[in-house]
Chains A and B, each alone.
Chain A
Amino acid sequence: MLSQNTLLFVSLGYVVLLFVVAFSADRAGLRRGGWLQSPLVYTLSLSVYCTAWTFYGAVGLAARSGLEFATIYIGPTLVFVGWWWTLRKLVRIGREHRITSIADLVSSRYGKSTALAIVVTLIAIVATIPYIALQLRSIVTSFEAISGSEHAARTAFWVASGLAAFTILFGTRSISANERHHGVVAAIALEAITKLVALIAVGAFAIWGVAGGVGEIFARMPDDMLAPDETFGARWFTMIVLAGAAIICLPRQFHVTVVENTDERHLVTASWLFPLYMFLLSLFVLPIAIAGLAWLPAGSNPDLFVIALPLAFDQEALALLAFIGGFSSATSMVIVASIALSIMVSNHVVAPIALKRMMTTSAASGDVREVLLTSRRITIAALLGLGFAYLTLTEGRSNLAAMGLIAFVGVAQVLPAMAGGLLWRGATRAGALAGLISGGLIWLYALYLPALGVFPDAWLSTGPLDIAALRPQALLGMTGEDPLVHAAIWSLGINSALFVAVSVMTEMRPIERLQAGLFVDVFSAPGSEARFVRRDAASEDLFILAQRILGAVPARQVFDDIARDQGIKEGLPAPDDAMIARLERELAGSVGGASAHAMVTRVTGGEIVSLTELMDIADETQRLIETSARLADKTDELEDTADELRRANARLRRLDLQKDDFLSQVSHELRTPMTSIRSFAEILQTTPDLSDDEYRRFTGIIHSESLRLTRLLDEILDIGRLEAGQLEVPLSDVSAVTAVTSAVDGVAGLAFERGVNVRMRGGVPDVAVSANPDRLQQILVNLLSNGIKYNPSDVPEITVSASLADDRLRIDVADNGGGVGREEAEDIFAKFTRGARAGADAGAGLGLPISRAMAERMGGSLGVVFRGDGTSFFRVTLALASQPAATAPEPAE
């Protein structure tokens, strides 16, 4: 046995060493960088996961349940090996949004909700206090075991006080949680090495000092220790899941992994180095347990094998090393856990209250900061006090050791809300609250309170009020499961189910939607909310706020930084949206997202979240789908346009060809009369003795040919003027009957000559139309003579009919030759075009275009109408005169 004084002296010496290391590291940290910011120190600080529960408890667990202890380290190994999935995103979000704790993360994700932050903080405190008690107890029992002393309570008290002093001194130096606690981190790293070395030393002693080799130690293993066929049961999987959740969700773990992280690349190293640390620690657990079972007297406490084994073989120095190792494990957990919890309490519980008070009292620089720092110090002292009280109250109960796993189930309740929030945009604040509260209550009822022993035994066996379905360890009659597995399934199951169901049923507020986008797409979304939130405030008010929270000097520094980035040399920066967002982020790093948001919003007096900008960070997938749909539309549109262009081009080509044709035709047309005029003029010139008859005949031909020429030129002039809109077409009321009759009469001679029968079908309505009588005559004669001249039928016939429709008069001119084909129906109205039926004696191709232009000029139309069988006829439509005109006789040509 070592003397109590030696032990006290060594413990004290170790604590002094910790203080010195922490103090010098804090000094070194001020100079920035160096070994303190290396990935190795980061990884070692993660080892705060391995508490006294690991150091003593893992061996105990191995002695009782074989390999099961490994699950506590395999779960975190899987999480760290899979850092690319979760930790990378967590650390990035933590840095982008200045996250100060796990409660802050959950609250910020769900629209900076204070309620959520408080719920998470409460769960964390409830889970952590017994855990702290467990650490204190492990120090006390190991102290007792090694010294044989009985003054347990006194030792525990001094240990707790010492830890509180250390934590307050080095853990609450600055208000910004993002500023690294260099001293603490350095001390934790030192402790990490100490406990690893101590456990490996004891393990090596067990294997080679006691048993004499690896094979030998396993040869002494009790037959029923491993029970391989039972190892991989429900408990194995549950514990891996719980440990995996704990490595992210334990407040102290979140603090060292995310909040204290200074460089994302450290994660790459930690992804293998931290699993390696746990691997090395676990490697010697089984041998120590086997050696303890085989060589120590029966009935020894397996939780103390680590110390008892060297003591039994009179290795006092090794026992002392083991004691220091266990002491390290316990103190590092207590220090980090109380820092993490104190930040949560001050930022999420005290800050909202301070915020209310702040509005009513007069401003003093740094007053909020002082309140928060004081609250953190009080919280640390209170946590250790509660842990100590818990220890004394539960003295003598053996179930304290199970508190580690019970705490795991408790903090795992945060997992659905956190993981869901990082991966799923649809997760809402209400869903997270519902999941957390329900899961937390089930955890308390099914696991935490029964373990405390507060329920009467009758409740456990027959249920409260004899309702069997409410038995805490057999909810709804689910028996046969280990209480831990039972509680984990129920609490996490209901938690996740409610989280998803309520999220689906509730709507998000704009600020929630914004935060969801920024968190879920942290790698692609723009990092700042400045683009989305519109706020107004005076720089002076913001400066006063910053001073109260950060203190005068840090606030000045922040504002100078912002002003410099804005390009302002002197004075306060301009309070634009970006500046306000940046300031809020700075404050969030000190008081948490929810409180910072509430404070800044008080100063700005409200905010507007721009929904259109929010759409910009809409779901990536959704954006892709929309883009491709829009692209497809564009493509369709382009194809349509291209088709249209192709059609227009073909039409243009056809028209161009027709024009060429016509030009040669028209030259020919003009040439024929010119040639005859010239030749007859030559005859008149060169032949002196012409008879009078011949002379008259020749000049007559010259005259008629000149008329033909004039007519042709007139037509060309007409259409030119029509197109330019220069042709005057005075309108008057014209009797329909007169117009049609005189037109038919006008072509009677031609019809007789060609043997074509022109007949009227039905009567012509006795109405007056608004038209120019001469031009209407011209149109109708043109249509009729076309029908007469170009009718391919053997028994040619033309039918003229007239009818009223829609207050307009229709005059249809049809021949029995089939009419024009569909493909040329539009072309024939183009200038210089002749239809397919036109023969050699065809005109210049100006009749129809002139007629159509005339009809349109008179407010009517001229077109081709197709019958069902593909034949067609011409139809002239004319507007009716405002009042029926008298059938005044019109001059018919």
Chain B
Amino acid sequence: MTGTRDITTRRARDPDREANAPVAEEPGGQERRARDAAMALPLLGILLLASPLTGAFGVEGTLIGVPVVVVYVFVTWAALIWGAWRIGRRLRSTAPTRRRRPS
């Protein structure tokens, strides 16, 4: 009898815990997303700057007086840096902790 009661009370507690879970797991989820982004960003960079796709932007013409191809390369480059900065800010709190080298 006691065993049965145990099970029922444990079951009864479960939904409670589930209700709290999204709040409790939020930082972990954020960290995971930041990690995924850290892995995806260089792939995006390769796609934009070092793949056949890049060739599509090798066109004549200017944008506010600057050649399109120059604008493309530098704007993409800046965007990658901005992305890395955003991801870095998210990851800093969870990055590997400082380990002191044994002296």
Contact = CB atoms under 8 A, between A and B. Distances in A.
Interface of A: 67, 70, 74, 77-85, 92, 95, 178, 214-216, 218-219, 221, 226, 228-232, 236-237, 240-241, 262-265, 268-269, 271-272, 275-276, 279, 282-283, 286, 557, 561, 586
A265 B81 contact: no
Contacts of B46: 78
A82 B78 CA distance: 15
A82 B81 contact: no
B45 A81 contact: yes
B65 to A, nearest CB: 3
Contact of A81 (B41, B57, B101): B41
Interface stretch (B14-22, B25-33, B83-91): B83-91
B68 A92 contact: no
A81 B54 contact: no
B49 A268 contact: no
B100 to A, nearest CB: 9
Contacts, number: 124
B73 A78 contact: no
B101 A265 contact: no
A265 B78 contact: no
B13 interface: no
B1 interface: no
Given A92-B96, A264-B95, A265-B95, A275 B59 contact: no
Interface string B48-64: 01100011011110101
B59 A229 contact: yes
B95 A218 contact: no
13 contacts: A81-B83, A82-B43, A85-B39, A214-B65, A214-B66, A231-B58, A264-B95, A265-B97, A265-B98, A268-B88, A272-B82, A279-B81, A282-B77
Contacts of B83: 81
Contacts of A561: 102-103
Given A77-B77, A218-B65, A228-B58, 17 more contacts: A77-B45, A77-B80, A77-B81, A80-B84, A82-B38, A84-B38, A84-B39, A218-B62, A228-B60, A229-B58, A262-B101, A265-B97, A268-B92, A275-B80, A275-B84, A282-B77, A586-B102
Contacts of A92: 96
B24 interface: no
Contact of B81 (A229, A262, A272): A272
Nearest to B62: A218
- Highest count of chain A CB atoms <10 Å: which of B39, B84, B96: B84
Given A78-B46, A286-B70, A265 B96 contact: yes
B62 A272 contact: no
Contacts of B64: 214-215
Closest A-B pairs by Cβ, 4 of them: A82-B42, A215-B65, A272-B84, A84-B38
B101 A218 contact: no
B92 A265 contact: yes
A74 B58 contact: no
A263 B78 CA distance: 26
Contacts of B49: 74, 78, 240
Interface residues of B, number: 46
A196 to B, nearest CB: 15
A240 B59 CA distance: 20
A79 B38 CA distance: 11
Contact of A218 (B43, B45, B58, B66): B66
A176 to B, nearest CB: 10
Contact of B101 (A80, A178, A271, A282): A178
A83 B50 contact: no
A78 B48 CA distance: 11
A78 B60 CA distance: 26
Contacts of A229: 58-60
Interface of A is mostly: helix
A92 B98 CA distance: 11
Contacts of B57: 232
Contact of B70 (A80, A226, A230, A237): A226
Contacts of B58: 228-232
Contact of A276 (B41, B65, B81, B92): B81
A80 B102 CA distance: 28
B94 to A, nearest CB: 10
Nearest to A78: B45
Contacts of A80: 84
Contacts of B42: 78-79, 81-82, 85
Contact of A275 (B35, B81, B97): B81
A264 B96 contact: yes
A262 B88 CA distance: 18
A67 B54 CA distance: 13
A561 B100 CA distance: 14
A83 B70 CA distance: 26
Contacts of B95: 264-265, 268
A340 B45 CA distance: 30
Contacts of A232: 54-55, 57-58
Contacts of A82: 38-39, 41-43, 45
A557 B74 CA distance: 52
Contacts of A74: 49-50, 73, 77
Contacts of B85: 272
Contacts of B92: 265, 268
B72 to A, nearest CB: 9
A178 B99 CA distance: 14
A241 B64 CA distance: 31
B101 to A, nearest CB: 7
A215 B67 CA distance: 10
A448 B68 CA distance: 36
Contact of B38 (A83, A269, A282, A586): A83
Contact of B69 (A83, A228, A265, A276): A228
A78 B99 CA distance: 27
A221 B67 CA distance: 10
Contacts of A272: 81-82, 84-85, 88
Given A74-B49, A81-B83, A237-B50, A226 B69 contact: yes
A240 B38 contact: no
A216 B41 CA distance: 35
A349 B59 CA distance: 52
Contacts of B45: 77-78, 81-82
A167 B31 CA distance: 42
Contacts of B81: 77, 81, 272, 275-276, 279
A231 B98 contact: no
Contacts of B35: 84
Nearest to A231: B58
B49 to A, nearest CB: 5
A269 B62 contact: no
Nearest to B76: A74
Nearest to A75: B50
Contacts of A215: 64-66
Contacts of A85: 39, 42
Nearest to A278: B77
A214 B74 CA distance: 14
A95 B69 contact: no
B88 A271 contact: yes
B88 to A, nearest CB: 5
A279 B77 contact: yes
Given A228-B60, A228-B67, A268 B77 contact: no
A271 to B, nearest CB: 5
